[in-house]
Amino acid sequence: MNDYMNEVSQSVFSCFDTGKNPSKKEPERFYHGFVLGLMVELRGRYVLTSNRESGFGRYDVMMEPLNETDDGVILEFKVFQPKKEKELADTVKAALRQIEEKNYEAVLEAKGIAKGRIRKYGFAFCGNEVLIGGI
């Protein structure tokens, strides 16, 4: 997934798409919309929701499985902030930490999806560079 996202972002994205100031929300919204658009084809297997409340906050994207054999998925997007983070891996860790601290899996668990069947992914972006990590 990392290779695919980097290939697409480096061959398609412009600095005008991703923004120059990483502290603003606009770049995160751009990446959020882009990834959400890629996932639309999964609607036959998942209920896709975006920016909804769960636990103690609002997740970026949630994929609720329609089939009992599929896992639930939570995605959190973060734009690298050089004043707070040393490298893109720190941004991924911040995204994953937010999923845990805010208990975003609460909605999926309330629908009967076991904790062990919920995948969590942090997407970190800096310009047209992408890093994805999961727990």
Task: Summarize pLDDT for 10-37 with one digit per residue, the tens.
Answer: 888 776 776 655 445 667 888 888 888 8
Rounded Cα distance, 1 and 134, in Å: 11
For 5, 17, 51, 87, the CA distances from 124, given in Å and listed in that order, are: 11, 16, 17, 10
> Can you say how many angstroms the Cα of residue 112 is from the centroid of all Cα atoms in its chain?
22
* Sequence spans of domains, the chain: 2-134
Summarised one tens digit per residue, pLDDT across range 65-101 is: 999 999 999 999 999 999 999 999 999 999 999 999 9
Rounded Cα distance, 69 and 26, in Å: 36
Residue 42 contacts residue 63 (beta carbons within 8 Å): yes
* pTM of this structure: 0.86
The pLDDT of residue 20 is 59
DSSP string, 50-114: ES-EETTEE-SEEEEESSTTSPEEEEEEEE--TTT-SSHHHHHHHHHHHHHHTTTTHHHHHTT--
Mean pLDDT across the chain: 90
How many residues appear in the chain? 135
Among residues 53, 55, 66, 60, the alpha carbon closest in space to that of 28 is found at: 60
Q: Which CATH number fits domain 2-134: 3.30.1380, 3.30.70, 3.90.1570, 1.10.10?
A: 3.90.1570
